[in-house]
Amino acid sequence: MPPQQFASLDAALKAHATRQPDAQVLLFVAADGSASGLTCASLNDRALRIAQGLVQRGLGPGEVIVLLLPHSPDLVAAFWGGIYARALPAILPYPAASVTPETQRAQLTTLARRAPVHHLLTTPEVRRNLDPVAAGVQCTVHDLESLLPTGDGPVGPLQMPAAPRSPAYVQFSSGTTGPQKGIVLGHAAVLNNIRAITQAVELRAEDVVVSWLPLHHDMGLVSGVLLPIVTGNLAVLISPLDWVKDPGLLFRAIHEHRASICWMPNFAFNHCVNGLRESERSHLHLESMRAFYNASEPVRLDSLDLFYEHFHPAGLRRSALGTSYGMAEVTAAVTISAPGQAAPVDWVSIDSLQRERQAVAQAPRAAGAMPLVSSGRPVAGVEVRIVDEQGSTLPERHVGEILVLSNACMSSFLPALDTPSATAWVRSGDLGYLAQGELFVTGRIKDLIISGGRNIHPEDIEAQAQGVPQLRPGRAAAFGVEDPASGTEQIVLVCETRSPLAPHDYWAVVRELRHRTQQSLAVALADVRLVEPGWIIKTSSGKIARSANREKYLSEISTSGGAQEAGHAP
Amino acid sequence: MKADEIKPRLREFLLKDLLRNPTYPLTDDEPLITGGLVDSFDLAQIAVFAEREFKIYLPDSDLTVEAMDTLDRMAEQIAHRAGP
């Protein structure tokens, strides 16, 4: 069913539930291969009952309801229940087993300080952890088991379709210490983007989407849940936690369900190669895949090459390696590469790119040239332009900030302060250039580290050094270092010590930093270096100059030939 | 295969290929996952290494913090799967 028929997300699901109630819309595949699915009718029914339960317990129209549930049919049903209740569902990552109840409570408190969160739906276990602070932050915590109403409750307002311009849900853009700004997206905007994606990928009725992306991620939610439900295509979903430990799950699901489309970040292409068990390599069948979209992290040609080299014998076509660029502020997709062909590669002069911010075309593999992969062409309803620091539009092949104008633009932030108008160009914070209509993304303006698909703010890591007595306060720098083997950035932390440390103490401090970073941020540091006072470079205004510190670190390890030097290590 | 035979080769893999730090003083009982040295992505690579090196298959259910947090425990898990 073409998406343009629907004026709101709930109208789409209700229509499918009526016309093709028994059609399977979502299939959750577990690590052992077992699957639990939802038909259009079962999803609709469960969503309605959740909506009724929430409304009975005080959820009002326009109120935010945070969903803290494991990757499961229940999570999707709860999301649609929020939509049906005319509230604003917002999916956040379910706490890992290692996150202590105290940390969970602190996270809720921090969240409630940032945005008005009056309702939260979670598991009974997490509810028990959060209850002690819930009242204090004016949040009602529900759990699914005690929520579902007995008997038939009133269904009046839930049956009316939502107005297109009304807000549909909230997408939190992820940070490591917790969600950043909440982005409110309206029904019409989301449907615009779904329609644009459908056109750009030339979606067919028989296409099957396969995804392991987390549902708290904009690309994961839109490509894995919203798009398939609106278009009526089947989506096969794998938990990211399962996939990380066993990327072969993706290939088994592709083969079993004849999947044809998959969106995943650059690092996933490397991990599929590095983490695939030997015994599985001979049983792969990827002929059904007509498109892998490398999206939501900078695209690396060597990752695509590696993936192709390993899976070409299993039927993977080069033309199936596509790319996409997007952001939550405009629902999801900004650009998508043309279907049926590999995303174009632009070989450019490294020197011109780094020093003059210009993409000067070179012959493929020429000396001093580097390849950049196109992220595709703007999808329907979207315009892209490149601007300099002053906001003036730059010509082709000049690198500047990527600005986006989209008919899938957010309605407001949550809370609604500094809300851009829907007709305004949205600043992406990313750098890139246009060449013959193709968008090439070259980097990030700020120091954000993107490692394994996660946005990690250096400040959060540097903060772990605070309170460690041997370290100088405020003298730590965290940065990402590109690592071709993993196809993503690895994270390095450098900290100044007050005085030279004996080897035993040195390693104790390093262990402590790694431990803290893991506990608070779930981040594993690739390298931790303790250095002498004065090593860290700061700007004249006293800010940590992360790029400069990264360059210094890289030059030191290349000259010394080892990772642990600087007069402190054994 | 005994855990003692597995440990040296596993240690070399961890230091050389995973941690990329041959001089790191890795102890047998050091908490690797909870200590932040090894993450879930690394667990998949450890499973690949174990399959290649010791010809055993580590199912997902083996790749838990409890079973894999230290070099000792990893070697035991692999030995368990390898049999006599």
Look at domain A345-444 and name its CATH class.
mainly beta
Q: Is B66 on the interface with A (CB under 8 A)?
A: no
Residues of B in contact with A526 (CB under 8 A): 20
Contacts of A373 (CB under 8 A, 6+ apart): A294, A299, A300, A301, A304, A323, A343, A344, A345, A346, A440
Which pLDDT score, from 0 to 100, does residue A443 have? 76
H or E stretch covering A90: strand A88-91
pLDDT 10s digits, A402-424: 999 999 999 988 876 656 565 68
Q: Is A246–B63 a contact, with Cβ atoms under 8 angstroms apart? A: yes
Phi and psi, residue A74, nearest 5°: -60, -40
Please state the CATH superfamily assignment of the domain spanning residues A3-245 in this structure: ANL, N-terminal domain (3.40.50.12780)
Q: Is A527 helix (H, G, I), strand (E, B) or coil?
A: strand
How many pairs of residues across A and B have Cβ atoms under 8 Å apart?
A: 78
B14 Cα distance to chain centroid: 7
- The greatest distance separating any two alpha carbons of chain A, rounded to the nearest whole angstrom, comes to 73
Task: Give the count of domains, chain B.
Answer: 1
CATH topology of domain A449-560: GMP Synthetase; Chain A, domain 3 (3.30.300)
8 A C-beta contact, residue A267 and residue A297: yes
Number of other residues whose CB lies within 10 A of the CB of residue A206: 9
Q: Where are the beta strands (DSSP E) in A35-78?
A: 35-39, 64-68
Which residues are registered as beta bridge partners of A412?
Answer: A184
Interface ipTM above 0.95: no
DSSP for A382-433 reads EEEEEE-TTSPBPPTTB-EEEEEEETT--SEEES-SSPPPTTSPEEEEEEEE
Q: Is B44–A246 a contact, with Cβ atoms under 8 angstroms apart? A: yes
H or E stretch covering A552: helix A546-560
Specify whether the backbone of A178 is left (phi greater than 0), alpha (psi in -120 to 50) or beta. Answer: left
Whether residue A469 is predicted with pLDDT greater than 80 in this model: the reply is yes
Q: Is A278–B52 a contact, with Cβ atoms under 8 angstroms apart? A: yes
Q: Is A275–B25 a contact, with Cβ atoms under 8 angstroms apart? A: no
Instruction: Tell me the whole-structure pTM to 2 decimals.
Output: 0.85
Q: Is B48–A452 a contact, with Cβ atoms under 8 angstroms apart? A: no
Q: Give residue limits of the domains in chain A.
A: 3-245, 345-444, 449-560
H or E stretch covering A346: strand A345-349
Q: For each successive 10 residues of chain B (84 residues), what is the average pLDDT?
A: 92 87 85 84 93 92 92 95 84
Q: Is A570–B25 a contact, with Cβ atoms under 8 angstroms apart? A: yes
Expressed as residue numbers, the domain containing B56 is: 3-82
Of the partner residues B38, B61, B63, the one whose CB lies closest to the CB of residue A524: B38
Separation CA A425–CA A407 (nearest Å): 11
Buried (b) or exposed (e) across A126-147, using 16+ Cβ within 10 A? Answer: bbebbeebbeebebbbbbbeeb
Of the partner residues A244, A562, A563, the one whose CB lies closest to the CB of residue B44: A244
Most A-contacting residue of B29, B56, B60, B65 (CB-CB within 10 A), to test interface: B60
Q: How confident is the model at residue A177 (pLDDT cuts 50, 70, 90)?
A: very low
Pairing of strands A179-186, A412-414: antiparallel
Indicate the average pLDDT of chain A.
89
pLDDT 10s digits, A92-134: 999 988 788 998 999 899 889 888 899 999 999 999 999 999 9
Separation CA A155–CA A14 (nearest Å): 14
pLDDT above 70: percentage of residues in chain A: 91
Helical pair B71-82 and B40-54, crossing angle rounded to 10 deg: 40
Which pLDDT score, from 0 to 100, does residue A19 have? 93
Of the partner residues A31, A275, A516, the one whose CB lies closest to the CB of residue B41: A275
Separation CA A382–CA A197 (nearest Å): 11
Q: Is B83 on the interface with A (CB under 8 A)?
A: no
A78 Cα distance to chain centroid: 20
Number of other residues whose CB lies within 10 A of the CB of residue A267: 24
Q: Is A39 helix (H, G, I), strand (E, B) or coil?
A: strand
SS (H, E, C) A117-174: CCEEEECHHHHHHHHHHHHHHCCEEEEHHHHCCCCCCCCCHHHCCCCCCCEEEEEEEE
Lowest mean pLDDT among A20-34, A305-319, A445-459, A504-518: A445-459
In sequence order, which ranges of A210-322 are alpha helices (DSSP H)? 218-221, 227-231, 240-245, 248-257, 266-274, 278-281, 301-311
The CATH number covering residue B29 comes to 1.10.1200.10
